[in-house]
Structure 1
Amino acid sequence: MATPESRSSRFQSRAIATLWRLLAGRRLSTLWRLSRLAGPLVHRFSRREREVTAINLAQVYPDRGEAERRRLARESLTHSTATMLELGFAWMARPERVAASILEVNGRELLDEARAEGRGVIVLAPHFGNWEVLNFWLSRHFPFTAMYEPPKLAELDAVTREGRERMGASLVPTNPRGVAALLKALKRGEAIGILPDQEPDWGSGVFAAFFGRPAYTATLLPKLVARTEARVVTGVARRLPGRGFAIHFLAADERVYSTDETVSATGVNACVEAAIALDPAQYQWEYKRYRKVIQKLEGHPEHESFRLY
């Protein structure tokens, strides 16, 4: 017998999936206008997102004035809202419509050169712009494998998986079996995607500088590079508001190739910083990037700056 919680979960999932299907047929200009209307409401009424964004921006941009950081926080939450509204477009709109929305591709030669040499490519894809559009482009042009963690609402798993796999991407679990699949793909000279800005579980990372402050960072990358000699690039889909997207592939910071895991992780974070520099408002600042450092700061005066985390 279904519990009230399971019935509520199914209702939420169906409502979200229906909304995505409705929005999939709308123009990007319409979705951006909706985001401009909803973004300020998210900033005003979503306390967690507003406060975490404010804390992160204060940590990474201490030299910017408070008024400038507030403006950037509002813009960031508007872009995050746009990403959510665009999921139906990225996953369900006709492929030719999504492809036509990609107005620029910069740095593709980084991928082509690596593949011409028979080397695999690790694409570091931070939470910037619309990463689902980046997944669409990569899986449309290259054999592409990415790790996948099912959504919290289990009933959305099929919708999410179908959307991400529809252009040929291969999704693998976030466990040792998935890591083995990534290694095999790289050894075949294919491309894989890694989210470089999520905090891993304890024991799977090191503290490395991110905008000058220690952030717990995954060490999966140096392990993959050491065993495959893959090329590393950063990839993002930058939003061109109301018009489409510009894909950017950036050469990785050379430190990512270090066998020292802390040095490599510092290089990974430098790659994320370089992507953010394209347009800081398009980064998802509401993610608690410094969460694990709080435990190291307990009892230290700086701990107060993270009190709302």
Structure 2
Amino acid sequence: MQHKASAKRRPFTQASAISWLWRTLAKWPLPRLWRMASLLGPQVYRFSKRERRVTELNLNVVYPTTSAAHRKALAKQSLKHSTATMLELGHAWMAKPEKVSASILEVHGREKLDSARAEGRGVIVLAPHFGNWEVLNFWLSSHFPFTAMYEPPKMAELEPIIRHGRERMGAQLVPTNPRGVAALLKALKRSEAIGILPDQEPDWGSGVFAPFYGRNAYTATLLPKLVARTQARVVTGVALRLPGRGFAIHFLDADERVYSAEEAESAVGVNASVEASIALDPAQYQWEYKRYRKVVEEQQQHPQANDFRLY
């Protein structure tokens, strides 16, 4: 008697390899992940030319009076921390919740969220790309009703894995469109917390130019619209890495200008708030992101209007 053919195995794709790696690294202790980041970080600096170049160009802009040697050392440290963040994704998304909770060793400024909610006000958390923002999402969604915008990854096979990781403690993810904005407004009116990425360049027409370390950067104008309609409190939130040990959550009062009804003034306050969080440890900011890209695009279209050349 001929046996039925066994079920076909799923092909081993790039997405399945990444998923397997996340699951494997989720089992590792944080000190081991940091040691690996310390080994891989210098290799990223050496061989990832794009990341090294953009990091160093950004640091040249934001710290022009700092010595070249110091900026180079800071670039190396920054790419080590970015490597650590990538290695820690499995920890944030797939490790047992009690393990992730135990890795959060300190929480500073929680009273800012508690007092706002006690007053019947929602809280807008500005969450820049600093430290491990996925750990921040884990903590927020573990302690408050929490809503954040979500854009699916380019690799569609990873979408359910990432979504599950971000939603597993109760976070609600909404699309980056008008329907998502409506969901954010409803959450704030219920005195809940929402998260916004303050340092990601929006599409043309959805932002204004505002100074970031003295240079204009295209900055989203969603925040003043949300504040005007809900009277929400605004704080900056980060998960500062304590290398080899865990994380410290920090909630900082946002710059008062974020409450301005003028979009340009509010954007100035947003960028000032991001700068204040970066000051906790500049090496933990994701400097390899092209924060000034829109300025460069504008300069290329109107060279007489701006002489700023970067990327």
1:209-224 → structure 2 map (5 Å cutoff): 209-224=211-226
- 1:169 is aligned to 171
The structure with the largest alpha-carbon Rg is: 2
| Alignment-mate amino acid for residue 282 of structure 2 | P
- 1:38 is aligned to 40
| Structure 1 Cα separation of the partners of residues 195 and 60 of structure 2 | 29
- 1:126 is aligned to 128
- 1:3 is aligned to none
| Alignment-mate amino acid for residue 177 of structure 2 | N
| TM-score normalised by structure 2 residue count | 0.94
| Matched length | 299
Match of 1:141 among 140, 143, 162: 143
| Structure 2 Cα separation of the partners of residues 97 and 81 of structure 1 | 21
| Structure 2 Cα separation of the partners of residues 168 and 296 of structure 1 | 41
1:207-286 → structure 2 map (5 Å cutoff): 207-286=209-288
SS at match of 2:293: coil
Deviation at 1:187, TM superposition (A): 0.3
- 2:63 is aligned to 61
Match of 1:194 among 196, 199, 210: 196
The question of 1:20 aligning with 2:22 is answered yes
| TM-score normalised by structure 1 residue count | 0.95
| Structure 2 Cα separation of the partners of residues 51 and 248 of structure 1 | 30
Structure 1, gaps ≥5 residues long = 1-6
Deviation at 1:302, TM superposition (A): 4.1
Deviation at 1:297, TM superposition (A): 3.0
Root mean square deviation, CA, Å:
1.3
Match of 1:287 among 273, 279, 289: 289
- 2:4 is aligned to none
Deviation at 1:143, TM superposition (A): 0.1
| Structure 2 Cα separation of the partners of residues 297 and 69 of structure 1 | 26
| Structure 2 Cα separation of the partners of residues 253 and 303 of structure 1 | 27
- What do the CA deviations read for 1:228-267 (whole angstroms, capped 9, x no partner)? 0000000000000000000000001000000000000000
| Alignment-mate amino acid for residue 282 of structure 1 | Q
The 8 Å contact of residues 120 and 191 in structure 2, kept in 1 or not, is answered as yes
| Alignment-mate amino acid for residue 259 of structure 2 | Y
> Runs of at least 4 residues of structure 1 off by over 6 A?
none
Deviation at 1:152, TM superposition (A): 1.1
Q: Percent identity over the alignment?
A: 75
Deviation at 1:71, TM superposition (A): 0.3
| Structure 2 Cα separation of the partners of residues 110 and 188 of structure 1 | 17
